Amino acid sequence: MRVMAQLGMVMNLDKCIGCHTCSVTCKQAWTNRGGMEYAWFNNVETRPGQGYPRRYQDQEKWKGGWTLNKRGRLTLRSGSRLKRLLNIFANPDLPTLDDYYQPWTYDYDNLLSAPAMDTTPTARPQSLITGKDTEVTWGANWDDDLGGGPEQIGKDPILAKVSEQVKLEFQETFMFYLPRICEHCLNPSCAASCPSGAIYKRAEDGIVLVDQDKCRGWRQCVTGCPYKKIYFNHRTGKAEKCTFCYPRVEVGIPTVCSETCVGRLRYLGVLLYDADAVLEAAAVQNEHDLYPAQLGVFLNPHDPRVIAEAERAGITQEWIEAAQSSPVYRLIVDYQVALPLHPEYRTMPMVWYIPPLSPMVEALSSTGHDGENPDNLFGAIDSLRIPMEYLAELFTAGDVGPVRASLHKLAAMRAHMRTVNLGEPDRPEIAASTGLSAAEMEAMYRLLAIAKYEDRYVIPPAAHSDAHRLDALATGCSVADLDDELGMTAFDQVAEKFHLTDTNGAAPEEKDARVNLLNWDGRSNDGLFPRRTETNGAGSNGAGTNGSNGVGTNGSGSNGAHTDVVEAGSLTTPGRPL
């Protein structure tokens, strides 16, 4: 048993109102830059629908994730190494810009500078890619609120797997919202697909990042990711992805999408898992066994043997205590109401979802029945096969059993709390039918309905001490040793670099220039460190040790991707630190 720690997330889909606040704040924080206009690290989809990019779940077309070969071993769906090498310069399995959407803005200047005329001036849409007038035909949330309308039949890959009756009657049943971020998988296929080895999984918290120094823009990771949550920055020629807001979680605060979520549907916490069991769990033959196999990978943080192995592996006491009080562990393992997204991809995803019960309540209420009555609700769970089949294809590789069990527990929780709040006679058979006690039902209710901030986000504070320890190593790169011409800039300019766009003052004049660091503005020092001299760079923080302290935007942290020391004479670009 090799114990490792992983930061995970659970989303309660019953509480998502489709406001897209998480998408907007994530966009402003991470992808509000040239080359990433089309990218949404966080997006909210209406289900059923095509998703973003279009039909990304159709792995027969996009070749994402893992599959089993004839010998029962895991192999990338995109093919062998030889096949991927032959396609490295012309990958046929890449989504095009039309599969995402062509980002646009509006000609607002025309509203201000238009001459006097009889008609009102308009702001025509303009492409952010070509700068020319364009016609808006698609967007990241184009299917928003359409649900199961007839125009979606045949476009949703999941609907293609269910019966004809489901297709014909689905639009009369329900719709729900599905927020998506990178899954930060235990078995990431994107990392295995990268020819340059630029994608790595941090050992301390399991976050999957891209080393911007090693990335060469082959875009094999885009094909390899079955969730299509890796994006190619056409300005820098690098791949970028959701970083799980590692600068925030490293100091004990939640991700931007979690912090700004209006519905308070996200839960963050630590899970301990057995790294030696991941490969075996991902390689089970029957796809219906993938969900219980991944549950078997997670370890009980209260088990003395697990605690001893975790301490032997270097996991701090703060992380062990965080795992013991993790809301993610309780929802996934203890209550077993959260389910993984598409476990059939065999990547072992770590962003799980509580399936929505609201469609069934609404279906009962629309027919004049009491949607909160336990007898009606339990009967609806078994009779409404349409949402059950769809949710099973989404969360359990088509196995209806775990979805029914999760919804049954949620319905039992509602019924139990109804008897408690209304003072009705106790019905112990409600809790007993789910395998949970009345106390566990009430604890699950408090967690799902009225949990406070510190109960929803249990992020270990160990990163604070690690940050101070890393600061103590910074002996060779003092800001006081830098001249103004080497990067001493005002705070507003630094903020402008972080949100680098084509229109602000920090944008480089030559838009087609490619640099290693995404936040370089083309004017100040073009690296994180001053230019290397004979006396500067020999220390542990010198410019030749990129990776150990994470120079790349997506690669910082104590677990950098590479530590190759580069001599000053070997720099391929004069004056450019690596």
The C-alpha angle with vertex 497 and arms to 495 and 503, in degrees rounded to 5, equals 105
Mean pLDDT calculated for residue range 550-554? 42
| 121 or 535, higher pLDDT | 121
- Reply yes or no on whether the pLDDT at 226 is more than 80: yes
Predicted pLDDT at 266:
97
pLDDT beyond 70 at 449: yes
Which pairs count as long-range contacts for 536-540, CB under 8 Å and 24+ apart, including other chains?
A: 536/476, 537/476, 537/568, 538/476, 539/475, 539/476, 540/473, 540/475, 540/476
How large is the average pLDDT for residues 533-544?
Answer: 42
Residue 471 structure tokens: 């600061």
pLDDT value at 523 more than 60: no
Q: What pLDDT does 433 receive?
A: 85
For residue 546, pLDDT beyond 90: no
Let me know whether 467 and 551 are in one domain: no
Using CA atoms, how far apart are residues 230 and 383, in angstroms rounded to an integer? 39
pLDDT attached to residue 430: 84
- 199-201 vs 208-210, strand pairing mode: antiparallel
Range of lowest pLDDT (237-241, 285-289, 431-435, 480-484):
480-484
Please say if the pLDDT value at position 486 is more than 80: no
Range of the domain at 342: 1-101+138-352+452-473
Mean pLDDT of 461-487: 49
CB 241 within 8 A of CB 230: yes
Same domain for 568 and 466? no
Query: What are phi and psi for residue 126, nearest 5 degrees?
Result: -130, 140
Residue 142's pLDDT band (boundaries 50, 70, 90)? confident
449 vs 535, residue with greater confidence:
449
CA distance 280 to 257: 33
The pLDDT of residue 498: 39
The DSSP secondary-structure symbol of 283 reads T
pLDDT number for residue 48: 84
Q: Mind listing the pLDDT tens digit for each residue in 279-316?
A: 999 999 999 999 999 999 999 999 999 999 999 999 99
Same domain, 179 and 268: yes
Q: What is the pLDDT of residue 427?
A: 83
Of these ranges, 50-59, 142-151, 426-435, the one predicted with the greatest mean pLDDT is 50-59
Quick check: is 577 in a domain?
Answer: yes
Q: Please, which pLDDT band fits residue 342 given cuts at 50, 70 and 90?
A: very high
How many independent structural domains does the chain possess? Answer: 2
- Same structural domain, 205 and 311: yes
Q: Please check the confidence at residue 358 and state whether its pLDDT lies above 80.
A: no
* CATH label of the domain that carries residue 225: 3.30.70.20
| Residues 461 and 524 both lie in one domain | no
Whole-number Å distance between alpha carbons of 13 and 555: 31
Evaluate whether residue 411 is within a structural domain: no
How much is the CA Rg of the chain, to the nearest whole Å? 25
Residue 19 binned pLDDT confidence (cut-offs 50, 70, 90): very high
In a domain, 128, yes or no: no
Is residue 442 in a domain? no
485 and 342 share a domain? no
348 and 489 belong to one structural domain: no
Structure tokens belonging to residue 376: 């009606």
Most confident of 37-41, 488-492, 495-499: 37-41
Which one is predicted more confidently, 260 or 520? Answer: 260
Q: Say which range, 162-166, 236-240, 446-450, has the weakest mean pLDDT.
A: 162-166
Look at residue 157 in the predicted model and tell me its pLDDT: 84
**Which of the listed residues 443, 473, 503 is the one where a domain comes to its end?**
473
The answer to whether residue 78 is domain-embedded is yes
Confidence band of 173 (pLDDT split at 50, 70, 90) = low
Listed range (6-10, 52-56, 191-195, 388-392) with the worst mean pLDDT: 388-392
% of the chain with per-residue pLDDT over 90 = 53
* Band of residue 168 on the pLDDT scale cut at 50, 70, 90: low
CA distance 532 to 541: 11
425 pLDDT exceeds 80? yes
Are 232 and 303 within one domain?
yes
Q: State which H helix or E strand residue 325 sits in.
A: none
Claim to verify: residue 466 and residue 570 sit in the same structural domain: no
End-to-end CA distance of the chain: 38
What pLDDT, on a 0 to 100 scale, did the predictor assign at position 397? 94
| Domain shared by 213 and 300, yes or no | yes
The verdict on 468 and 519 lying in the same domain is no
Say how far residue 11 (Cα) sits from the centre of its chain: 11
Domain-ending residue, one of 420, 443, 473: 473
pTM of the predicted structure, to 2 decimals: 0.79
Strands (E), 77-202: 104-106, 125-127, 176-180, 199-201
**Among 59-73, 235-249, 537-551, the least confident range:** 537-551
- Tell me if 109 is assigned to some domain: no
pLDDT digits (tens, 9 = 90+) for 41-89: 999 999 888 899 999 999 999 999 999 999 989 999 998 888 889 989 9
**Over pLDDT 70: what percentage of the chain?**
72
386 part of a folded domain: no
Q: How many CB atoms lie within 10 A of CB 225?
A: 29
Please tell me the predicted confidence (pLDDT) of residue 540.
42
Strand partners, 5: 272
Q: How confident is the model at residue 426 (pLDDT cuts 50, 70, 90)?
A: confident
CA dist 423 and 106 (Å) reads: 58
Task: Give mean pLDDT, residues 460-469.
Answer: 58
Q: How far apart are CA 93 and CA 37, in angstroms?
A: 22
Give the pLDDT confidence score for residue 571 in this predicted structure: 35
Query: pLDDT band at residue 159, thresholds of 50, 70 and 90?
Result: confident
Within this chain, do residues 216 and 290 fall inside the same structural domain, yes or no? yes
Is residue 251 domain-resident? Answer: yes
Average pLDDT of every residue of the chain: 80
Q: Which of 413, 442, 473 is the last residue of a domain?
A: 473
At 521 the pLDDT is: 47
Residue 156 to residue 246: CA distance in whole angstroms = 33
Residue 17 has pLDDT above 70, yes or no: yes
φ, ψ of residue 326 to 5 degrees: the values are -70, 125
